[in-house]
Chain A
Amino acid sequence: MTISLRGLTKVFPGGVRALDSLDLDIGEGEFFALLGPSGCGKTTLLRTIAGLETPTSGTVAIGGADVTALPPGRRDVAMVFQDYALFPHMDVTANIAYPLRIKKVPRARREAAAAEVAGRLSLSELLGRRPAQLSGGQQQRVALARAIACRPQVFLFDEPLSNLDARLRLEARTFLKRLQDDLGVTTVFVTHDQSEALALAHRIAVMDAGRIAQVGTPAEIFRRPATTFVASFIGSTPMNLLPGRVAGGTLRVAGAVLPAPSGLPDGEEIVYGVRPEYAELSPIPRDDAFAGAVTVLENLGTSTLVTLEGGGQDGDLLVQVVVPEGEEPPVGTSAWAVPHTGRALVYHGDRLAGPG
């Protein structure tokens, strides 16, 4: 089922504008992530698709049919909540079978269906237990099973992995991706964790202040973030974003002279973006590099994050570079960070003007 949102706006009674005339299309069978910092409106958007929130204006269509006025129970969606919302007084079977109980499926049939779904998620041993007797990972699978049992057109997951501890989270991530592949049902999930969105989703919408900053595949979003907000939000180490100016067909950024993309008039202010992974350190001065003193070394395991301090006119710019194991410069020495110009991004008026 496709989902399309048109001009969606949600203003809460307090005057908070959680969604701001938002348009979005989600394709059939897509695994779609809503990504953003807390308060960006991603959860409100998910709840509006579910029907738990009524939009102030705009429409929600599922499978081509306008469902804006339909109550949540008639939209044929299933939602997994952040806290799983497993009913504490029902055992696993009764929890999984609950959607079928609402649909008036006879007890024997719904229990058989629950057992079948539970079997697929390796929950067969736990059918008689109460939620309080389950581990976090088991609870999450019961919540998924309950959503699957009602065979919805669309799955909605609110931060599906955030209640799991770090190690379990990786395992559950792989499991979730395989499950969505198998089921092939359109799935929208909310997350604040960019690595989770990159790993799971076919496409991602990055949200900021009730609007969509960028929609794209994980590769597009990672390689070509459309705005500096997206650029700073995506990536496990934050991107270097350095102010600069266009001068005579080149860019002057923190003392470095770098090639400029075409079409930018002389004298314009720009922001030069380069990921720490897409720069290298030079021990000798270079024109196309940012100069600074090595102040901090952070070991990332197979590599090291090096912080250079002292670029720019005021000498207060920080530039970070990831260097391979064993190539760390000593703290206190001078070094030059050389951006890979093919991977660098130039933002003009907060829009991507092209690779540097």
Chain B
Amino acid sequence: MNTDAAGLGRGRAVTFVLPALVLIGVFLVFPALWTVYLGLTDYRLTGLAAADPQVVGAGNYTAALGDERFQRSLWLSVQYVLGSAIIGQAGLGFAIAWTMRGRRGPVRRIVEGLVLLSWILPSSVVAFLWIALLDRDGGTLNVLLGTPGAAWLLDHPMLSIIVFNTWRGTAFSMMLYAAALENVPPSHLETARLAGASTFQQLRDVVLPRIKGHILTNMLLISLWTFNDFTPFLITAGGPEGRSEILPFYVYTTALRGGQLGFGAAVSFLILLINLVFALAYLRLLRNRDRDLREAVA
């Protein structure tokens, strides 16, 4: 009904929106579009192709898709997302939220505080904490397990960064599931319990159907974030011998270290496309939920 409460007027409204849009346009939209063009050239950081890049068409894409290193990176990224986000963060996050449902007091505050702290500490700090924890010679983990000399980061680099990212990112899933579980009406659980349902049956028949939307939302978001995560680079830098080189590291090493900007842009564009699929699925989910809500109200 009301179109302009403060009497701002269209002109001023546009002036208010414009600076933000310009900044977003230059540093977010333009780079995304430019990636498409750069990916079609043989642009390099230095040398002849830096001064006079040539359009090579889909050459970078065929080269990337045929590159064994790229294929390995993509596969490692899939492992990283499945292992640390879907199984690690979502699984552990749900387990913690479920165990702590209805619990109040110091135990809850300590658990939540620690999980949150691992989420908010700066990347470079947590990276070193894990380097220290997993250190071959004096690492606390080896001292605890009595396995001096076990080189976790060299022998099991993927496992190490998957466990690391589970530790790093569980907070989000935990909070989201805790909020979702609070919305399950206690009367439903009580009804199931009166009918003699076991904990597992309560979970399957009462809880899961109610929080399905939250689970899907969480999976999409954490997959997207984990897929784009650069933090473990600070721990393994993709090594040893590229055995933990997930896609973000691959782009970084080929494009910015190796100077193959055109090729790197092509790979970036593939990442953008994968992100787009996740994001569209997420937004669709949001919209459906809005619509369901409206229908429920109407």
Q: Which residues of A contact B (CB under 8 A)?
A: 12-13, 44, 52, 71-72
Contact = CB atoms under 8 A, between A and B. Distances in A.
B20 interface: no
A12 B1 contact: yes
A13 B7 contact: no
Interface string B90-111: 0000000000000000000000
B15 interface: no
6 contacts: A12-B1, A13-B3, A44-B1, A52-B2, A71-B7, A72-B7
A350 B2 CA distance: 34
A300 to B, nearest CB: 36
Interface of B: 1-3, 7
A52 B7 CA distance: 8
Contacts of B3: 13
Contacts of A52: 2
Nearest to B1: A12
A13 B4 CA distance: 13
Q: Binding site of B, secondary structure by majority: helix, strand, loop or mixed?
A: loop
Nearest to A16: B1
Q: Binding site of A, secondary structure by majority: helix, strand, loop or mixed?
A: loop
A168 B149 CA distance: 80
A74 B2 CA distance: 20
Nearest to B3: A13
A44 B2 CA distance: 10
A44 B3 CA distance: 13
Contacts of B1: 12, 44
Nearest to B5: A52
A71 B6 CA distance: 11
Nearest 3 CB-CB pairings of A with B = A71-B7, A12-B1, A13-B3
A29 to B, nearest CB: 29
A72 B6 CA distance: 11
B100 to A, nearest CB: 33
A13 B2 CA distance: 10
Nearest to B7: A71
A8 B2 CA distance: 18
Nearest to A43: B1
A193 B2 CA distance: 24
A204 to B, nearest CB: 24
A71 B7 CA distance: 9
A53 to B, nearest CB: 8
A12 B1 CA distance: 7
A12 B3 CA distance: 9
A156 to B, nearest CB: 16
Contacts of B2: 52
User: Which of B1, B2, B3, B7 counts the most A-chain CB atoms under 10 A from its CB?
Assistant: B1
A72 B3 CA distance: 15
A71 B8 CA distance: 12
A13 B3 CA distance: 9
Contacts of A12: 1
A126 to B, nearest CB: 28
Contacts of A72: 7
A52 B2 CA distance: 9
A178 to B, nearest CB: 33
A285 B3 CA distance: 61
A268 to B, nearest CB: 42
Contacts of B7: 71-72
A71 B2 CA distance: 15
A44 B7 CA distance: 16
Contacts of A71: 7
B114 to A, nearest CB: 36
A75 to B, nearest CB: 13
A216 B2 CA distance: 30
A72 B4 CA distance: 13
Nearest to A51: B7
B41 to A, nearest CB: 47
A146 to B, nearest CB: 18
A13 B7 CA distance: 17
B3 to A, nearest CB: 7
A219 to B, nearest CB: 34
A13 B1 CA distance: 9
Nearest to A53: B2
A147 to B, nearest CB: 19
B238 to A, nearest CB: 52
B11 to A, nearest CB: 15
A85 to B, nearest CB: 11
Nearest to A14: B1
Contacts of A44: 1
A302 B2 CA distance: 45
B10 to A, nearest CB: 13
B13 to A, nearest CB: 15
A32 B137 CA distance: 88
A52 B1 CA distance: 11
A56 B7 CA distance: 17
A251 to B, nearest CB: 44
B34 to A, nearest CB: 38
Nearest to A13: B3
A46 to B, nearest CB: 13
B12 to A, nearest CB: 13
A50 to B, nearest CB: 12
A254 B174 CA distance: 70
A90 B76 CA distance: 57
A152 to B, nearest CB: 18
Nearest to A71: B7
A83 to B, nearest CB: 13
B245 to A, nearest CB: 53
B272 to A, nearest CB: 37
A44 B1 CA distance: 9
A17 to B, nearest CB: 13
A230 to B, nearest CB: 25
A225 B7 CA distance: 39
B118 to A, nearest CB: 37
B115 to A, nearest CB: 35
A209 B3 CA distance: 21
